[in-house]
Structure 1
């Protein structure tokens, strides 16, 4: 009996232990079906999911190169400091809790709250009851002595916590494996109430379908509720801009975007999806494949904002637009506005004609400048199938003929008509759905592109930008940017981030719209933000977006104009005379050996491909003795003579039997235009040609001992002619027949970058130059005696020039090395030394501005800077300037009061600066 009682007691204890164990361990079970997204209230405007917060934190703090630029903004600085607190040992959060928060995926949502606020909600999925108990126990035991209060809400506890030293109060609650945190208690209550009702975002078919497109390899996932995002954004915009935010509600119902943070890019791709009961942007592109756009070749490269529409089927595009307007209830308004224009044709007929004339692409462009007011800063650009057919269409719509109201005239050969026509207003009327607030007052054509603007001045600016090849298609930076996108799209939106302030003036109090000077400098390091949309299967629209950080991008130099070439300039731009206008034009060659003649307004008049680089500079001659000039120069293989239209003159070009080793020299001994052309060749012979290209047989010069690399010089003094030159062995001073005229008694090797300069002292003529040791060599032309004076006293490579620089009726000596510019008096005493941190091209150019105003120009080829140096050794005001070549200075126009400086620039441009 006793055994039986004992057995029963033991059995009951075991059963009790088992029951207790079951109850205890079941309370620590893993939570199921507790996706954090379910805790997000359905009025969310934006949702962000981060799978690995610790990885994102590391990327933002340590791996992205634009971190420093963003730190200039308070919001990012504060965000960064919070990340750093979580990265280290937090003083306000328990280590086990901190470890959980850093390692677990987090869902963050933003919600409009009240009239002026947007508040976040944070949601975590908790694995099991044990993890939840760690949080609960920590809050209830409160070992750090925080201000913690607890209250009930629908059977759930809501904790209000305020850690010591922290101003923000947080509200925390738990529900079936979900941790919910927010600085707004109302959001926590909304989340709890929603979870109990079982109607969550995942109950929304539209959101649920989009949720399945989430990328698994992204750094974060972004969800945008386009029905609500306008309301959330309105909290930070002024009243004038709030109305425009309604645009977002027409984009889609929801959007999902995968975000990846790279060193210089934020890459975004995903989908837009629309509820079947709503009319959104996808209806405009339904069944229409993406198109390829060429319109960037018209848009100015300083555009602030561009929205381009492209498509492959004009009939579907027209029908979709009509159906969309009818579903929106706005088609009647379009009809009414169309009737007011008084056209003969029906609206439906005109729609067909308009979409038939547009060649499958159009664009809305904003180009801000300080001169713009109201809506005068925008363009509507249409690619038409034909300018003439477009004009015919306008004439058919109206009884009045479409005629120009004014002209944009750049020069005598360049004239663009600018029109104003009631009939043309049909284009912005029909396309306003795609691009709001389209300009309609004036229009012009560039090729077959039809461009609208509310300002004649803005149309002129766009025409001029195209003449100078200053378009997005010509921009190296924009080509790099668009290479990150597909070559086809239905819509592409581009925004220049550095011009946010001008795009949204007085839009709100956000730092982004009102940057300080240092913040603007940071924004200037970002090239742009682009969004590309294209139709996809299952009513989805594919989205590809990018924010591009480009710290190497430099702001535009302040030039009169910049003219685009095919490649980078080589050599020194030549200022040549237009014999018709007596004004200056520019002759320049690029690295592809293309030769250009450019007008004084920057327009390329012609270009001609040469077989090689021009050696030296271009000389203008009057070949026909009729006061009309031609351009004479040589390459290594040929001598060219071109007329001002770029055509070869007579039997030119002349092929050289041997390769030229120096630039040609052109002499007009008696000023009778009976020119002589001198050139040295690789067989060590020097040759003389007449202007027709015939060899002069009376030239008897012997072969040189070495290679002649500098031009041959003609010097006339005291009734005698001297033909002077040097090779890398010795010097030669000959007469017109090539016979020796002066024998140098103590010969030397002339410096590679030095020429001869004439100096007369006490009626004795001397030739001045420098040798390879940086010494001044003074040759007496009467005796051949040579006087050596130490100047640079170094075998460092240099350039030498002798010039009356300081206007003291004497000669100064200028020497340029890689890093220094020296000036010496005639007695060899140093006038000044200018040190430049770079790598100077060993060449100096002298500029005579007025009576006593002379300056020296040098080029830093390492840093692409140009300098003008005054006669006292100071750098002229506003210099250095940006430039990638030697430069020329002169008056381009007869009426000019300021000098023009012409120099090669960045990105294949030729720069025209004004010099005060």
Structure 2
């Protein structure tokens, strides 16, 4: 939906609401769009008042003056060439492009009870909510049928919007208080029926509209009231019909009648059995009253040229153009209708099977519909939005509203790599994105930080769930803990002067963050010795280590305080048998401690200079590398072994209990398999063990290529792909495919799917 932000209408709205950038509001914002007496649009913002709500200091293009209205102070402000007015009433802040609206705040007027009821139905957890009234004539029409006007369709609507990168989901209600003047009430006292027209509508059409009823006479009576007409249809054609559909195909249309009794409907059409031709063994008949549908069902139907029809099972299809009918017949027989397309099946999951009114757009239909409301916007292209829909389900005296606009990609080939989504952040990324677990859905989400030290949590659909300012860059990898032992997970990590514990809503968990005057020099180590959620948080500061519990209290039983020199790798916890080991190192000493911080193992070696590479437990030995590129391992008795892997001084290793991976210059080794790769500037390799398979990833940061290998050092099909950081690999949703997340451009996060 990014193209909408480039439209003239959007840019005009953005310009009018430019003053929102001055607001320092901590509460929700209510944005109102209304029309004044000259039919000009006015934009109003309402929020809870707080001190210093305007961030106008040091702005050279901002001026303001205060005046009185009924002894109440009003402010006239000018910002970037736009004028707006503001005032405060009952701890509520009002700002508007209209002076009259701001003055109205201090006038007495009757409370709109109905509007208040609708406002109370919105869900504040959604991305946004829209409440509209029948005077919204600036929205021309979101219907395929031009004759259906928004301002005469209903009186009040309240819609919650769930907005992701590739989809917009609408849910809400709509109601008309005047039963005779609003089109929605033609469904009063009717029962929604299952919408079966998609079984007939060709997939290559622009879209369709379907409306249903359980009794035609009741529906007809409501429609006549709306049209203020007393003349009804003197035909039996509709007596056994419970659904009417309109197919839109360019400038042509076709009408569908879904019959509950095909024989009875055929008998009602007995006088119309004048066969004109046959197409694929389907007879096509002439129809003598081409304007019957427009006369009966206007304004829902305006098509008045239905001169031919055919019968497809229980569907009677009427059209004027022979090619349109032939296209419908061919697609019906070939099962290439909307109901057979995966993109329609996908959006149907968000909809009810039975609706009073259903409108479905193809990509071209969506483009045409939006163009009605966004003038001079020829750059709107929606090729990937192959099906979008809105439905209304009438219920007593109101209607439920469901809608979806979804980007649906073509199904990928086996073993192909598809770019699922790209998320653009406000600033460049500071570190590589990683996956974390959503404890509610048990799916994965993305956490990443930008260069302004903002931490983002992003859903696996690309929606930014929250953004939080941190005091410094995150050190290492973010871990997750269950601090309350109730299944809810929190993010835990350190920055140079803070230790954070953050819940899934982006809130700090007391008593964190812990503040440190001295610099934290290694990533936070999180230990859960017995897997009972009694976590220990180990903070490294130079050559000192401090151990805390989740109450931010020093663990007094941990006696290790200081190493002989600066600690150069993150302290690690390992378990061998029933014994716990804490391993850390300085440039010339390897410490292997017990839980209390006492020496458990003393390596039998001297005069070793270590690299800053991590310590791993490989083949039950404490394993790391020396500065000259040798692999050094220590067993639980302190015996030391050194192996010359012929690594350069600038090398990297990663290991699991049975797999060792090393990278040096243009050589990548996985287990005992060594391959030559292009020379480049590579990230550290990452090792993943998923579904009993080993994957090794490495990124050439110079050529922007991500490589993924199996345990035999064989490159997976369709790699490399574009990327600019280390990756995180996992199953992030409910399908069986693996996904990985990586930095794209400097301010973008990319998720790829391995099909």
2:588 matches 1:733? no
Q: Which residue of 2 aligns with 1:172?
A: none
Q: Residues 353-408 of structure 1, C-alpha deviation per residue, up to 9 Å, x if partnerless? A: 68423779xxxxxxxxxxxxxxxxxxxxxx99996466543599427336589987
Secondary structure of 2:522's counterpart equals coil
Once structures 1 and 2 are overlaid, which stretch shifts more, 594-603 or 698-707?
A: 698-707
Aligned mate of 1:897, from 736, 741, 748: 736
Q: Which residue of 1 aligns with 2:632?
A: 777
8 A contact 2:131–2:158 mirrored in 1: no
8 A contact 1:661–1:707 mirrored in 2: no
Q: What is the 5 A alignment of 1:197-216?
A: none
In 1: Cα distance, 2:573 partner to 2:37 partner: 70
In 2: Cα distance, 1:312 partner to 1:743 partner: 66
| Aligned-residue CA RMSD (Å) | 4.5
Q: Which residue of 1 aligns with 2:454?
A: 594
Please state how far the C-alpha of 1:750 moved relative to its aligned partner: 2.4
Change (3 A) 1:311 1:850: closer
8 A contact 1:309–1:492 mirrored in 2: no
Structure with greater Cα Rg: 1
In 2: Cα distance, 1:403 partner to 1:855 partner: 51
Q: Which residue of 2 aligns with 1:622?
A: 482
In 2: Cα distance, 1:311 partner to 1:599 partner: 28
8 A contact 1:706–1:727 mirrored in 2: yes
Q: Residues 423-453 of structure 1, C-alpha deviation per residue, up to 9 Å, x if partnerless? A: 99xxxxxxxxxxxx9xx99xxxxxxxxxxxx
In 1: Cα distance, 2:447 partner to 2:690 partner: 21
Please state how far the C-alpha of 1:849 moved relative to its aligned partner: 3.4
Please state how far the C-alpha of 1:676 moved relative to its aligned partner: 0.7
Aligned mate of 1:801, from 628, 641, 654: 654
2:615 matches 1:755? yes
Please state how far the C-alpha of 1:648 moved relative to its aligned partner: 0.9
Please state how far the C-alpha of 1:772 moved relative to its aligned partner: 1.1
In 1: Cα distance, 2:494 partner to 2:160 partner: 45
Secondary structure of 2:3's counterpart equals coil
Q: Residues 741-796 of structure 1, C-alpha deviation per residue, up to 9 Å, x if partnerless? A: 22112142222123222424xxxxx22221111111121221x221111102432x
Secondary structure of 1:724's counterpart equals strand
Q: Which residue of 2 aligns with 1:380?
A: none
Change (3 A) 1:881 1:354: farther
Change (3 A) 1:789 1:459: same
In 1: Cα distance, 2:161 partner to 2:654 partner: 49
Aligned mate of 1:393, from 123, 127, 136: 136
Change (3 A) 1:697 1:460: farther
Q: Residues 226-278 of structure 1, C-alpha deviation per residue, up to 9 Å, x if partnerless? A: xxxxxxxxxxxxxxxxxxxxxxxxxxxxxxxxxxxxxxxxxxxxxxxxxxxxx
In 2: Cα distance, 1:726 partner to 1:881 partner: 36
Q: What is the 5 A alignment of 1:326-345?
A: none
Secondary structure of 2:430's counterpart equals strand
2:536 matches 1:671? no
In 2: Cα distance, 1:495 partner to 1:352 partner: 30
In 2: Cα distance, 1:693 partner to 1:307 partner: 52
Q: What is the 5 A alignment of 1:149-548?
A: 299-300=3-4, 355-357=39-41, 388=131, 391-394=134-137, 397-398=151-152, 400-401=154-155, 403=157, 415-417=169-171
In 1: Cα distance, 2:160 partner to 2:517 partner: 56
Q: What is the 5 A alignment of 1:506-905?
A: 558-682=418-542, 684-747=543-606, 748-760=608-620, 766-782=621-637, 784-795=638-649, 797-803=650-656, 811-825=658-672, 831-841=673-683, 843-851=684-692, 853-893=693-733, 895-905=734-744
Greater helix share, structure number: 1
How many pairs were matched up? 432
Secondary structure of 1:714's counterpart equals strand
8 A contact 1:306–1:495 mirrored in 2: no
Change (3 A) 1:565 1:743: same
Please state how far the C-alpha of 1:693 moved relative to its aligned partner: 0.9
8 A contact 1:723–1:734 mirrored in 2: yes
In 2: Cα distance, 1:799 partner to 1:669 partner: 28
Please state how far the C-alpha of 1:616 moved relative to its aligned partner: 0.7
Secondary structure of 2:711's counterpart equals coil
Please state how far the C-alpha of 1:409 moved relative to its aligned partner: 7.3
TM-score by length of 1: 0.42
Change (3 A) 1:608 1:312: closer
Secondary structure of 2:595's counterpart equals coil
In 1: Cα distance, 2:15 partner to 2:593 partner: 77
Change (3 A) 1:298 1:563: closer
In 1: Cα distance, 2:172 partner to 2:475 partner: 44
Secondary structure of 1:741's counterpart equals strand
Change (3 A) 1:657 1:737: farther
8 A contact 2:429–2:746 mirrored in 1: no
Q: Which residue of 2 aligns with 1:523?
A: none
Change (3 A) 1:572 1:391: farther
8 A contact 2:132–2:156 mirrored in 1: no
8 A contact 1:640–1:648 mirrored in 2: yes
Change (3 A) 1:461 1:741: farther
Secondary structure of 1:571's counterpart equals coil
8 A contact 2:618–2:660 mirrored in 1: no
Change (3 A) 1:880 1:414: same
Change (3 A) 1:877 1:419: farther
TM-score by length of 2: 0.50
In 1: Cα distance, 2:563 partner to 2:515 partner: 21
